[in-house]
Chain A
Amino acid sequence: DTGVSQNPRHKITKRGQNVTFRCDPISEHNRLYWYRQTLGQGPEFLTYFQNEAQLEKSRLLSDRFSAERPKGSFSTLEIQRTEQGDSAMYLCASSPDEQYFGPGTRLTVT
């Protein structure tokens, strides 16, 4: 499978814990995006990388959220001190032009 992959697919954590998600984009896609999707809503943009540079961040990305793409290939999204409101599907997409999405990581904060 040469599509966008995300790990883990599901994560259950207790409030206050830190979590980290990984995204592996389609090979040689230089653009990588993170979105968040809550039930019944469309995805909301969080941040965007071109190669290893983080070029855009949404105001939704609070100080507890950090994303990296150190070598311009895979990316990680970390949420510190998780809150129940962080429960959502976290989607990664990559593109040369149109954005192709991965399957997402579903986070449940209890």
Chain B
Amino acid sequence: GESVGLHLPTLSVQEGDNSIINCAYSNSASDYFIWYKQESGKGPQFIIDIRSNMDKRQGQRVTVLLNKTVKHLSLQIAATQPGDSAVYFCAENVQGGSEKLVFGKGTKLTVNP
């Protein structure tokens, strides 16, 4: 069925290090993936997305990697800053199918100064 999960519920890194947040999905029909950042008391904030015809996409300090063979998605944050501390969710969608996003449970990233 449709489900998106995360390997680690928490991640703690030192300021300036690179962070890698992982996500596994089970719906092989999913072809659109998004990473959201959610700070306490706020709604999810769009970070970056990737479509299934790509393996990698880069943004500002962030890179998303998609491995369709093993149904794995990762978010890499370069030079992690205290402001990056938040919960990160991956979400999936089947383009042309349901409009809903299916979210995983999230990974809480803590950046230590």
Contacts and interface: CB of A to CB of B under 8 A. Distances in A.
Given A40-B105, A42-B91, A102 B43 contact: yes
A82 to B, nearest CB: 22
B98 A43 contact: no
Interface stretch (A11-19, A65-73, A93-101): A93-101
Contacts of B4: 42
A91 B91 CA distance: 15
A35 B93 CA distance: 15
A43 B44 contact: yes
A42 B34 contact: no
A44 interface: yes
B45 interface: yes
Contact of A58 (B46, B49, B89, B100): B100
Interface of A: 4, 31, 33, 35, 40-45, 48, 55-56, 58, 91, 93, 98-104
Contacts, number: 53
Interface in B79-104: 89, 91, 98-104
Contact of A42 (B43, B46, B98, B105): B105
Contacts of B105: 40-42
Nearest to A91: B43
B100 A98 contact: no
Interface in B40-79: 41-46, 49
A76 B41 CA distance: 21
A70 B57 CA distance: 38
A55 B44 contact: no
A44 B99 contact: no
Contacts of A42: 4, 89, 91, 103-106
